[in-house]
Every structure is written in C-alpha cells, then in structure tokens.
Amino acid sequence: MSPQHGREATLLPHDVSPPRPDSTAFMCPYCEAVLSNPSAAQCESCLRPLPQKGTPVLRVLFPAGELKISVGQHLVLGRDAGQSPVAATFTQYDNVSRRHSTVWLDPAGTAWVRDEGSTNGTFVNGERLPRGVEAPLRDGDQLRLAADVTGTVQLS
Ligand SMILES: [Zn+2]
C-alpha cells in the first residue's frame, strides 16, 4: 500500500559535474599517478609539488603568423586547408606538406609535436623527428617544418 521508500532512496540524482574530456590525462608528471584533484598543490602518490601554471598556453611564432594552442587542443600544421585550420600560415611554402605535423598541449602543461609523415621533415632545435614520434616542446625551442619554416615556441 505504501511505496517502497527504501528503493526510492537509492534513486539519487545524477552527478551533474561536467565530464572530464579525458580523466586519464590528469596525471602526475613525475610518477604518472592519476590525480583525483589536478589542482592540488602536491601529488597524493609521490608527494612532489605539482606544477601550478594556471591555464598554460602554447604559442608558436612563425614568420607568417602566430599559432596559439590551448590545453586539450590538437592543431594540425600543414598547407591543406582541408587538413589544417592554420593552412594560411603555410600556403606560401611549397616544401611544407599538406598535413605536416601536429602540436598540442597536455593538461600537465607539456607541449608536444608529432611529425605526420611529412615529406621534408619536422625538426626540433635542428633534430629531425622520426615519423609519428611524440617529442616534447619547451619554451624557446625552435620548431622547423621542412628546410626553412621555423617557429619559436613560447610556453606560458
Ligand atoms: Zn606523483
């Protein structure tokens, strides 16, 4: 006759906190423990202080334009507007591939670049990256596409 209050009590409201885009990405940069609180002052696993960078932004300053990459954004560099949203920065360079490399910024504030099988190569400080290998980018690094399209990395 009366409703089953016990069962109703288990119908808790859904968790309304916004889903994380990739919870596994919030890792301690030192011990790679998954962080339950990415903004904590120290890692709960290895107890080392965590980087407190606020919202990091990656910029790459090319002669023909400045690229800005936010955390979580993967930016394809290349000459083909169908492949790269920043193709206009590279259209004047015939030796840059249509889809040349990808740069991104992870939640720990580390910037990365990966060559996408470009014809003339992706270089960090003069060193050619093997195709498909993810290489970290540091503030002040020189990121070069092909022979002479060089951008300066700014990480803040
Ligand atoms: Zn740790």
| CATH number of the domain to which 103 belongs | 2.60.200.20
Q: Mean of the per-residue pLDDT values for the chain?
A: 85
Tens of pLDDT, residues 113-151: 999 999 999 999 999 999 999 999 999 999 999 999 999
Residue 86 exposure: Cα atoms within 13 Å on the Cβ side: 22
Distance (angstroms) between ligand 1 centre and the Cα of 27 equals: 8
**Residue 7 forms part of a structural domain:** no
Q: Are residues 92 and 40 in the same domain?
A: no
Using CA atoms, how far apart are residues 63 and 152, in angstroms rounded to an integer? 9
**Residue 75 forms part of a structural domain:** yes
Counted residue by residue, the chain has a size of 156
Q: Are residues 36 and 109 in the same domain?
A: no
Residue 63 pLDDT: 92
The one-character DSSP state at 43 is -
Using CA atoms, how far apart are residues 33 and 36, in angstroms rounded to an integer? 9
Q: Are residues 109 and 42 in the same domain?
A: no
Tens of pLDDT, residues 2-24: 455 555 555 555 555 554 444 44
Distance (angstroms) between ligand 1 centre and the Cα of 30 equals: 5
Tens of pLDDT, residues 28-77: 878 988 888 777 888 889 998 877 656 788 999 999 999 999 888 899 99
Tokens standing for 50? 């965590």
Q: Are residues 63 and 38 in the same domain?
A: no
Residue 23 pLDDT: 41
Residue 112 pLDDT: 97
Expressed as residue numbers, the domain containing 45 is 24-53
Residue 144 exposure: Cα atoms within 13 Å on the Cβ side: 14
Secondary structure class of 89 (helix, strand, coil): helix
Distance (angstroms) between ligand 1 centre and the Cα of 102 equals: 28
Distance (angstroms) between ligand 1 centre and the Cα of 122 equals: 32
Q: What confidence category does residue 100 fall into, taking pLDDT thresholds of 50, 70 and 90?
A: very high
Distance (angstroms) between ligand 1 centre and the Cα of 55 equals: 20
Domain count, the chain: 2
Residue 54 pLDDT: 64
Q: Are residues 45 and 92 in the same domain?
A: no
Residue 20 pLDDT: 46
**Residue 47 forms part of a structural domain:** yes
Query: Does the model's pTM come out above 0.75?
Result: no
**Residue 9 forms part of a structural domain:** no
